Structure 1
């Protein structure tokens, strides 16, 4: 279920209340995109999520044994969108998009991290995804759907194009960064929101090195009210998943690389929270279900903690997460709500601000992309 759907649900709840109800952290945005994905409250037509950039601290991680990885913390509590790298532990803000609404369509403008400048560079492409390791990115030119995918070398600042046999609207890199999953559409996925009229036609698995690309049919879910129904990868990269409209399990449906339905890997269809499962596989960020509200539970469903936040976005290691918090002085309602990203311990007792506050009423909303570095 994508961000827009979850925002609608929260704003529907707020529409009958003069003030944000008690327990906002447990109710807001039930994300999840997608991751996927409670996201900082964000209105499609007005506002989207926040993130930022700047100094240092360190958090250990072991994503690629034998290869040293920078795990310093970079924050920017002033700029939103960020001007410099934002990072914490195993993840970094690799890109972001600003959003505006034109008619019934959401229009994205993308900004990609530039390792040469340390900041973010505006790109002319219609869609973007960054590979783990943050050395290459994939882009689609507009208007969507696109007949080709571009592979960007982020270090050399070069791009090469691979032609596609079916038009593309979404992108997702495999966990090892060696394959690219392209979701194909018959029409622009951001211009169609009516239930039962989705445009997804299937997917293409692309080998960026050889340029080989194989299409498989996987039609849109008519019960999903979102025009955009992008596919993603399982944690080990052996399966792909399609989003459902469920706030409770199963939140995803899994398929093999030929498009044949498969059982969900353990706990991977349990959560709608973007953070999902911890790196060691022992903890899960959940919203609703057996543990009502926003919680961190173990694999047996036992509640480990209830962090006082609106959304759990990404695990930086096994004991810390990037989360979205509300400015307690400005949590009065959807028009005044201010929120930002923080690095927080899973018990919620310690946190470090990562960004400045963003207000829903502020023009120029932006949506962050976090990637393993």
Structure 2
């Protein structure tokens, strides 16, 4: 991964059968079948200081040198203290549950826990949405009651809002650019996480409240000055004139921070826009890749898809230039590079989930690129996707 480039996780949440997955990554065969709506994920950045802890047992022969600054919490799920390895750390995590609202409506409600850079511990917040700038000093936050007309800039050492950036349009999602100098703030007419009685869909033979696409566009904001330029970009439609996706349709930055993108049914899995809203061709750096994976620090490799099955749990690593498979690494989902030789991933316990029985009872691991070594970083998440205590990490570079 390039220096200063953000890494994000496939933000995962389940409530009353509504599955939302972010930014194109896939966990496994059964999970892919139940995804209904796309959710742009939220990205954050890490603190600079590591926390030294016991690593716990790793599997395999003595590995290549482990990344610096490994902080493993194999007994914590969700984590209470910093989890980190090499270039990457868990900077925040969230849980999600479905709430009932008036008149038969509902919403997906997110609870965010953010790393306090002074204490090295995760603290629950009351923000509806957040993202963290490179350097782990400032977070952009949105208040509850989305969409909202101001973006708070929070000092992560104190948890206090230092200033507000006001917007004319209502904002429902926000993300820093990889260098932290700009924000993209996606705007909506109504709550992008809302579930509405008059937009039902069929779930297990029953009609339940569903999302409504209401995106109006986006702001590109200078983080230092607060200067915000609005671009209209309503929900995208397919060849038949139908809106694709759910209520949340946040725009995200490309890895180099030059373009914006949203998920779409193309070979690259995305459609790209300039910062002034013009659709542009797929960049050459993306055209051979099937997902917006994380790039290794030396820029040579990129994480790919889950390619395992009933007999093994592996995901592929690709040549960043050609898209050719270069390695298979243990894990259902490769999330980020700790360094050029180690990756952070989600993986279920092979002794319990093969053949695919408990694939959702998984934990964060540190896995070597050669596929021989695994170090647990967190405890196991609950195997029930509908459990509101099931936490979803945000991974960021230091």
1:1-373 aligned at under 5 Å gives the runs 33-34=22-23, 36-39=24-27, 55=53, 71-103=68-100, 104-159=106-161, 160-192=163-195, 197-222=212-237, 223-244=243-264, 246=265, 249-268=267-286, 271=289, 275-287=293-305, 294-298=315-319, 299-331=321-353, 337-361=360-384, 362-373=387-398
Is the partner of 2:92 in helix, strand or coil?
Answer: strand
1:231/1:87 Cα in 2 relative to 1: closer, same or farther (>3 Å)?
A: same
Number of paired residues? 330
The alpha carbon displacement at 1:96 in A equals 0.8
Tell me the TM-score normalized by structure 2: 0.74
Q: For residue 316 of structure 1, give the secondary structure of its aligned residue in structure 2.
A: strand
**TM superposition shift of 1:151:** 0.5
Question: Aligned in 2, Cα 1:140/1:363: closer, same or farther, shift over 3 Å?
Answer: closer
Q: Quote the Cα distance in structure 2 between the aligned partners of 1:275 and 1:353.
A: 22
User: Offset of 1:32 from its aligned partner?
Assistant: 5.8
RMSD between superposed Cα atoms in Å = 3.3
* CA displacement at 1:197 relative to structure 2: 4.4
SS in 2 for 1:359: coil
- CA-to-aligned-CA distance 1:290-349 (integer Å, 9 cap, x gap): xxx831121323221122321111122222211111112321656674211111112211
Matches of 2:111 and 2:78, distance apart in 1 = 12
User: Aligned residue for 1:63?
Assistant: none
Give 5+ residue unaligned stretches, structure 2.
1-8, 37-50, 56-64, 101-105, 202-209, 238-242, 308-313
Aligned-pair CA distance for 1:90: 1.1
Tell me what 1:17 maps to: none
Secondary structure of the corresponding residue to residue 329 of structure 1: helix
Q: Displacement, 1:266?
A: 2.8
Deviation at residue 250 of structure 1 after TM alignment? 2.1
Q: Is the Cα–Cα contact under 8 Å of residues 108 and 126 in structure 1 kept in the other structure?
A: yes
CA distance in 2, matches of 1:185, 1:359: 33
Q: Cα–Cα, structure 1 residues 372 and 181, in superposed 2: closer, same or farther, change >3 Å?
A: same
When structure 1 is superposed on structure 2, of 272-281 and 168-177 the one drifting more is 272-281
Q: Say if 1:271 and 1:312 are closer, same or farther in 2 by CA, change over 3 A.
A: farther
Provide Cα deviations, 1:99-145, integer angstroms capped at 9, x if missing partner. Answer: 11124521101111001111011111110111122111110001111
Alignment-derived partner of residue 66 in structure 1: none
Tell me the CA shift for residue 3 of structure 1.
Answer: 5.2
Closer/same/farther in 2, CA of residues 363 and 143 from structure 1, 3 Å limit: closer
Matched-pair contact (CA < 8 Å) for 2:381–2:391: no
Q: Tell me the SS of whatever aligns to 1:330.
A: helix
Structure 1 residues 336 and 347, CA gap change in structure 2 (3 angstroms)? closer
Shift of 1:272: 5.8
Mapped to 2, the partners of 1:281 and 1:269 lie a distance apart of: 16
Q: How far apart, in 2, do the equivalents of 1:139 and 1:44 lie?
A: 27
CA contact 1:128–1:171 (8 Å) conserved in 2: yes
Larger proportion of strand: 2
Structure 2 CA distance for aligned equivalents of residues 227 and 242 of structure 1? 13
* SS of residue paired to 1:322: strand
* SS of aligned partner of 2:82: coil
Contact 1:151/1:208 (8 A) holds in 2: no
Distance in structure 2 (CA, Å) of the matches to 1:327 and 1:2: 20
TM-score normalised to structure 1 length: 0.78
Residues 1:196 and 1:337: Cα distance change in structure 2 (over 3 Å):
closer
1:153-206 deviation digits (Å, cap 9, x = unpaired): 112433121111111111111111111111111111112587994111111111
Give yes or no for contact 2:186–2:250 (8 Å, CA) kept in 1: yes
